[in-house]
Structure 1
Amino acid sequence: MLSTGYALSQGVTTSSVNGTVVDETGAALPGANIVATHTPSGTRYGAVTNIEGRYSIPGMRVGGPYTIVASFIGYNTRTEEGIILSLGSGATVNFSMSDSDSELSEILVTADRTQRLARIVPVQTRLSAISRFLPCRLFPEELEILQD
């Protein structure tokens, strides 16, 4: 009996990007949005940071360059460009976000299930001050529930 010994396997064909998103004090920013765009093709990949401010985007196309954007309500958007991904090994891209000077007149939160409308009070609260509580939690004393 003769055997040729050929093994058919696919192997690793992708790469990944991971990292952390923190504020100016080094505190984690859970819920920050990360969008990585493969510049030549326009393919977009996305992730949201976990409670520790960490994100991971697996299964990305090898090569690049990539533009990676981090955004979070109440903070200035950060961008890293020219990221090149290697086969089988991930790139680490960390972001340190700075407060935005934007002021918020109000935030409207709607829910399909209850058909109620919630509004953050006081109206002229600085956006970065309340963003530390969003989207993780809202405190009852900060909400005014409006009936339909």
Structure 2
Amino acid sequence: MFKQIIPFILFIILISSKIYAQGISTGSISGQINNQEEEPLVDANVTAIHQPTMTEYNTISRNNGRYNLPNLKIGGPYTLKFSYVGYQKVVRDSIYVDLGQNRLISVEMLEKADQMQEVEVVGQKDPYEDASAGINTNISKDDLNNLPSLDRSFKEFTRLTPQKGEGLSFAGRNNFYNNLTVDGSLLNNSFGLSPLPGGQTNAQPLSLDAIQSVKVALTPYNVTQSGFTGSGINLVTRSGTNQFKGSVYSYFRSANLVGNKVDDTELETKDFNRRQYGFRAGGPIVED
């Protein structure tokens, strides 16, 4: 009986380790809440509102005045609200969170007064607002929409990483040492015949229009990112908002658009004609 249970136990351990090793697909916001005397405020209320979906994330500050809002949808904008009994509310707008990023936003709350005096609010960028460490490249939705692409593949946008070599090689490592995830789930080529699934058929594992952001991690000092010695590439897919949105695209390439001469040397070019058409649409099934 015990011998029959052993394979089942090993299977459960293997599945658990696979789930633990999955990539990340969210961001976080953390910081410090103090009063005018720079004393920490305990149990202050913090609310982050994701404006496109009106999703709310709530927490309170700890004994040292620190707070943490994990597992936030990437992108934004977010509205961050701070409240505490006897103190004026503080609101921060237009906050964006990148993939795997920990935005550091600290505030100083003022006591309420019977007569409100003129208050000058001065804002500045916190030089340590990103608490993440290591060599990472975040490719946002704006980058995917505005930068040119020949093959409509996320691989082309990974060129924004300075350490990228030929193909999907990073920091001098073979591309088979990478780890590709989509929304935290593994999407590696198990056969090892090409760096990406469907690579031998010139197909893309995921449509470019389905991707919201891409993160390329080379040396992340984060225990949740592992399983590679080249790079960890994590794709985050789009999600619906409270507004209906869509786009239509058409791409065309042919041999007439390819050069056939370098200096005095003529090159042989093959005749080809490629056309791509498509569209995407998204919106709320149920608002908020």
TM-score by length of 1: 0.62
> Does 1:79 pair with 2:91?
yes
Residue of structure 2 aligned with 1:64, choices 67, 76, 79? 76
How far apart are the structure 2 equivalents of 1:60 and 1:25?
Answer: 31
Task: Identify the residue that residue 40 of structure 1 maps to in structure 2.
Answer: 52
1:10 Cα offset (Å): 3.9
Task: Identify the residue that residue 100 of structure 1 maps to in structure 2.
Answer: 112
How far apart are the structure 1 equivalents of 2:96 and 2:36?
Answer: 27
How far apart are the structure 2 equivalents of 1:89 and 1:42?
Answer: 21
> Between Structure 1 and Structure 2, which shows a larger proportion of strand residues?
1
Task: Identify the residue that residue 42 of structure 2 maps to in structure 1.
Answer: 30
3-state SS of paired residue (2:78)? strand
How far apart are the structure 1 equivalents of 2:40 and 2:82?
Answer: 13
Structure 2 residue identity aligned to 1:51? N
> Between Structure 1 and Structure 2, which shows a larger proportion of helix residues?
2
How far apart are the structure 2 equivalents of 1:47 and 1:18?
Answer: 10
How far apart are the structure 1 equivalents of 2:112 and 2:34?
Answer: 14
How far apart are the structure 2 equivalents of 1:37 and 1:94?
Answer: 17
Q: Map of 1:108-119 to 2, 5 A cutoff?
A: none
TM-score by length of 2: 0.32
- Runs of 4+ more than 3 Å apart: 7-10
How far apart are the structure 1 equivalents of 2:60 and 2:84?
Answer: 10
Structure 1 residue identity aligned to 2:46? I
How far apart are the structure 1 equivalents of 2:51 and 2:112?
Answer: 27
How far apart are the structure 2 equivalents of 1:39 and 1:63?
Answer: 10
Q: Map of 1:122-133 to 2, 5 A cutoff?
A: none
How far apart are the structure 1 equivalents of 2:93 and 2:22?
Answer: 30
3-state SS of paired residue (1:28)? coil
Structure 2 unaligned regions, length at least 5: 1-17, 115-288
3-state SS of paired residue (2:96)? strand
3-state SS of paired residue (2:70)? strand
3-state SS of paired residue (2:100)? coil
Task: Identify the residue that residue 113 of structure 1 maps to in structure 2.
Answer: none
Number of residues of Structure 1 aligned to a counterpart in Structure 2:
96
Which structure carries more relative contact order (alpha carbon 8 Å, separation 6+)? Answer: 1
Which stretch of structure 1 is more off in the superposition, 34-43 or 7-16? 7-16
Task: Identify the residue that residue 54 of structure 1 maps to in structure 2.
Answer: 66
